A = this chain, B = another copy of it.
Amino acid sequence: MEDSKLTVRAVERALDIMLCFTGATELTLTEIASRVELHKSTVHRLLASLEGKGFVMRDAATDKYRLGYRLWELSANLSKEGDPGIILLPEMERLRDLLGETISLYVQDGLERIRIQAVQSTHAIRRVAPVGARMPLYVGASSKVLVAFAEPSLQQQLLASADWPAGLDQQAFLLQLSETKRAGFATSVEEREPGAAAVAAPILDHGGRLVAALAVSGPANRLTLEEMQAQAPLIMEAARRMGTMLR
């Protein structure tokens, strides 16, 4: 009846439970139950399974649930030599020291973009999304990079599924995409936030596939368009080097 069930419900529910910890470190069973919209007893059983394997743990003091250290361990296994967020950190810091601006790393995850690592600007002014934050794909330099260099099929899907805010010129965005692909980098000025600008370049793996977007961001008065275009080769080179470091 339904569209093919090639997936396991109980597992998806358990994963949803883990995902619902975004924003909160500690949650009580009933809080979780209401977040994922399941009955207490079901959540309890799923949590027991997660806890048994170390994916969630309970705060001994408050008895609340929190994510477990097994996730930490696994995330270190994402890349051959360890957590990419750690591997690339030194390079990111070098770039930060060179440019003085905030350096961020974004990956595409499903239909969203998430910020997975960042080193802060040495300047006082720094207003950026926290690590782990999810963002829509239609604004910002890193978005353009992630969409422009995505696999064709995924790109289609991304463009189709985006709920474009009224008044946003989708045609212009597509144009920018091809420009990004051609130039090898993207810029944005006051797209997401007034007064903020960013340059981004793709990090590609051995096979030329997109892994992440490396972005330099700062206030628009420091990061003018000319400035950013001048920095672009430097950033692209850093991104290239990072790609080789991932394996």
Contacts and interface: CB of A to CB of B under 8 A. Distances in A.
Interface SS of chain A: mixed
Nearest to A130: B82
Interface string A109-135: 110001011000000000000111000
A73 B11 contact: no
B79 A116 contact: no
Given A8-B49, A10-B8, A72 B75 contact: yes
Oligomer: number of copies: 2
Contacts of A154: 60
Chain A interface category by residue count: 35 or more
B21 A73 contact: no
Give the residue among A50, A83, A209 with the most B Cβ atoms within 10 A.
A83
Nearest to A25: B80
A71 B79 CA distance: 12
